[in-house]
Structure 1
């Protein structure tokens, strides 16, 4: 009799769990950017990524305020802005991951980033909204970016600039640009050779340059096709890079410390690749079909 009572209690608990998940499915957490057909009527009235120095310690650690913000011209069923920050070509941090907002127009996120060396900081943000109209679901998207040069000298306070204002800053700009470009180009060349992505007809775009295609088409594509590819690309990046990525059969890896991904598009084969040099200078290659 006692065992039969325990059995009925167990069945009752199963029924309660089933009913809860059936009646309240909206309570399950959604943790993914999903691309839907673009809602042409929706407009972002503001999209902004910014980097500002907040301290100028004498030859020691400095701090940056990294902010992202956007406002849509209407309330969206779901809103999310996700940001990536690179220091001399290496991923320094992410912002907005798994931070969804519902029934809102505006998102603001910020983070303090600390460092102690001279560096070129590059940030890119994907601003996203999911729009519902009855049974119709569409999305809206836009990108923004920011760049900042931080200079550290043992005999001076840490300083920063976006555009050089004197000869010394111009020299630092050239030096940091060359250092970052050379280390990335070396990694990308080796990675493209490893995976056979050396055809001259392929289109290669560093991830931090994608913001240039908000309204401008990628070579060989229309604006509409470009927006579709970019939306699908960020969907893939969110799932397979920003919240962790795999290298073959190894456990998921934290992307922090990995190097700037290179987007490679093969229009002839209708395939998009994302070449990601890992922190230990191995490679992960993501692949998407494009239509």
Structure 2
């Protein structure tokens, strides 16, 4: 009897310990797309860039903020963001938290050159229901800012030029940035023998244009799924590091703005970029058929 009682207690303790350990395991940091829940929306989501009033002769600083609030608590909330300066990745931010509706994060970015700063963010929620069903809620936000840092003029910033001088600065910076991006994108497209005429091309920094309207040739429902899967792929294969052809993984900083190539036959999409050292990179995602 005593032996059986001891065996029962031992089994109970092991089972209880296993249960508690499993309950205490942290949720893996990731973005995973699930079907969109039409009944759950973001109350707000924002990305903001503001020039800080810090007077230093050799550099300037910019406040970069990302935040979002869901209308209800979610099992998992996650926001990620990229900041590009003249077409190259200047910084990234990511934050995740369980059982919350709100997220916010901030960074101070330092630079010395006149720049067009472009920030884009993805706001995601993983929603679990008692019947074991899992859904997503998602949205995007973006901001941009021209910062002029020159010995010939005072430190200034603007989003839309209002003077002749600001217009000239915008033209100069845009021309330089676009030339660099076009050269890098062309190099990647030619390296992977991609036929341009078979794709619709959208820079990552322009994806915000499709936050509230469908991608070309797709319905709103299809676009939500494509964007959700795209950001899932960007998180795993770009935000966390870029895998090069030799198998090494490098940080994405100083890589060029990814170019999204959406196949006109609706079968797949490609994402091309270029690492800091100039190696072209391509990611491919299949587009599931509509159900």
**Could you say whether these structures have the same fold, taking a TM-score greater than 0.5 normalized by the shorter chain as the test?**
yes
Task: Name whichever of 240-249 and 25-34 sits farther off.
Answer: 25-34
Task: Name whichever of 53-62 and 255-264 sits farther off.
Answer: 53-62
Query: Cα offset for 1:23?
Result: 4.0
Local SS of the residue matching 2:221: helix
Structure 1 CA distance for aligned equivalents of residues 64 and 242 of structure 2: 24
Q: Report the equivalent of 2:5.
A: none
Matched, 1:107 2:103: yes
Local SS of the residue matching 1:208: helix
Q: Report the equivalent of 1:88.
A: 86
Q: Report the equivalent of 1:50.
A: 48
Aligned pair in 2 of structure 1 residues 29, 73: CA closer, same or farther (>3 Å)?
closer
Confirm or deny: 8 A CA contact 1:83 1:126 kept in the other structure.
yes
Structure 2 CA distance for aligned equivalents of residues 251 and 136 of structure 1: 37
Local SS of the residue matching 2:206: helix
The CA RMSD over aligned residues, in Å, is: 2.0
Q: TM-score, normalised by structure 2?
A: 0.90
Confirm or deny: 8 A CA contact 2:65 2:106 kept in the other structure.
yes
1:1-291 aligned at under 5 Å gives the runs 20=18, 23-57=21-55, 59-96=57-94, 99-134=95-130, 135-268=132-265, 270-291=267-288
Query: Cα offset for 1:20?
Result: 4.3
Structure 1 CA distance for aligned equivalents of residues 266 and 217 of structure 2: 13
Structure 2 CA distance for aligned equivalents of residues 164 and 122 of structure 1: 16
Q: TM-score, normalised by structure 1?
A: 0.90
Structure 2 CA distance for aligned equivalents of residues 237 and 174 of structure 1: 30
Local SS of the residue matching 2:214: coil
Structure 1 CA distance for aligned equivalents of residues 148 and 57 of structure 2: 10
Q: What runs of 5+ residues in structure 1 fail to find an aligned partner? A: 1-11
Structure 2 CA distance for aligned equivalents of residues 102 and 57 of structure 1: 40
Local SS of the residue matching 1:141: strand
Q: What runs of 5+ residues in structure 2 fail to find an aligned partner? A: 1-9
Q: Report the equivalent of 1:4.
A: none
Local SS of the residue matching 2:102: strand
Structure 2 CA distance for aligned equivalents of residues 168 and 128 of structure 1: 40
